[in-house]
Amino acid sequence: MFPLSWEMIMKKYTNIYDISNIPEIIQEAIHLKKNPFAHENLGKHKTLVMLFFNASLRTRLSTEKAAKNLGMQVMILNVNDTWNLEFEDGTVMNFNTTEHVKEAAQVISQYADIIAIRAFPSLTNKEKDASEWILNRFTKHATVPIINMESATMHPLQALADAITIEELKTIKKPKVVLTWAPHPKALPQAVANSFVEMMENIDVDFCITHPKGYELNPEITLETQINYNQAEALKDADFVYAKNWSSYSNYGEILSQDANWMLTQEKIKTAKFMHCLPVRRNVVVEDAVLDSNNSIVIQQANNRTYAAQIVLKKILENL
């Protein structure tokens, strides 16, 4: 039996700082993966309600599976099919919105023991996105723990899965990990990159970011992170290369470049393990040769989404 980290309490998981001891939780997740049904009574008579303001494949399936591995009941609601929620206070609701988040969050809290929420950013209103208006309003009014399944600015379940994957596959104590921007035809959120940066700054890796000028992430997040505008230099001797597109933070939500020179190639990657959160656009973000090589670990990453979710659910359940 793995030593119970009885001292670790999780009351919610909205960003990676809700984990008090990241290396320990990574080890426990790896342990859990070997015997995913070991705690199948922990979630008995407990219900996870998953609210999707945005579509989902991996997050939906892996989180549902994780909850069921723990014996939980799962109820899923695609919010936009059902609702136009009001998030502002004091509004006279005689136009489009039909229910206020105050009622919604309190009501769902009575049907759920834990609520998981996916709510992407607008990418048009920087301040509103930064305020995490959907996630935070739910967190404020819900009376049960909240799990972030990717919010406007954070994707902490993905970052935890990424850290688990690096821990499993690293061959040296302190591997070099590079997060590189890559081109994409659509404006994408910064959430995955933000949470990955935060996670890397909190585990024992040699970490840097590379991206074209203008693609700097929120400087509060990259405060202690080395940024290199030269991709080739950054990738040198990397053990893990994480590719990800994001839209500009300074010119908020804009696509400043689709420069195909930033696409990841086998030649650039060399023997480094290749990471991506998926879905990935082949031959735009990264060439086929990389994804089809043994150095691609994107499938393992996706698999670890289950155990990232499961360890988070387990910690929260233990605290209910």
Residues between 60 and 99 that touch a second copy (CB under 8 A): 60-62, 64-65, 68, 73, 75, 77-78, 81-83, 86, 89-95, 97-99
Residue 83 counted as an annotated binding residue: yes
Of the candidates 316, 318, 320, the one whose C-alpha atom is nearest the C-alpha of residue 63 is 316
Residues between 283 and 312 that touch a second copy (CB under 8 A): 283-284, 288, 291-292, 298-299, 302-303, 306
Of the candidates 280, 16, 270, 31, the one whose C-alpha atom is nearest the C-alpha of residue 168 is 31
CA dist 116 and 310 (Å) reads: 13
Amino acid at 177: V
Binding mask 117-156 for a second copy (x = CB under 8 A): ----------------------------------------
Nearer to a second copy, 49 or 197 (CB): 49
Among 45, 171, 220, 267, binds a second copy (CB under 8 A): 45
**Least Å from the CB of residue 316 to a second copy:** 19
Nearer to a second copy, 203 or 311 (CB): 311
CA dist 21 and 272 (Å) reads: 27
Nearer to a second copy, 82 or 226 (CB): 82
What is the DSSP secondary structure assignment for residue 16, as one 8-state letter?
G
Phi, psi (rounded to 5 degrees) for 41: -95, -10
Residue 310 counted as an annotated binding residue: no
Secondary structure percentages of the chain, helix, strand, coil, to 5: 35, 15, 45
Contacts 24+ apart (CB under 8 A), 19-22: 19/160, 22/163, 22/199, 22/202, 22/203
**Least Å from the CB of residue 113 to a second copy:** 11
Residues between 203 and 242 that touch a second copy (CB under 8 A): none
Q: Return the H-helix or E-strand segment holding 107.
A: helix 101-111
The CA-based angle 142-145-151, given to 5 degrees, is: 80
Among 31, 39, 102, 128, binds a second copy (CB under 8 A): 102
Provide the strand spans (E) within 64-170: 73-78, 85-86, 99-100, 114-118, 146-148
Residue 171 counted as an annotated binding residue: no
Residue 266 counted as an annotated binding residue: no
CA dist 98 and 104 (Å) reads: 10
**Least Å from the CB of residue 276 to a second copy:** 9
Examine residue 35 and tell whether it contacts a second copy (CB under 8 A).
no
Of the candidates 2, 1, 8, the one whose C-alpha atom is nearest the C-alpha of residue 318 is 8
Annotated binding site for carbamoyl phosphate: 56-59, 83, 118, 155-158, 277-278, 305
Annotated binding site: 56-59, 83, 118, 150, 155-158, 184, 244, 277-278, 281, 305
> Which residues of this protein are in contact with a second copy, per CB under 8 A?
37, 45, 47, 49, 55-58, 60-62, 64-65, 68, 73, 75, 77-78, 81-83, 86, 89-95, 97-100, 102-104, 106-108, 110-112, 184-185, 258, 278-284, 288, 291-292, 298-299, 302-303, 306
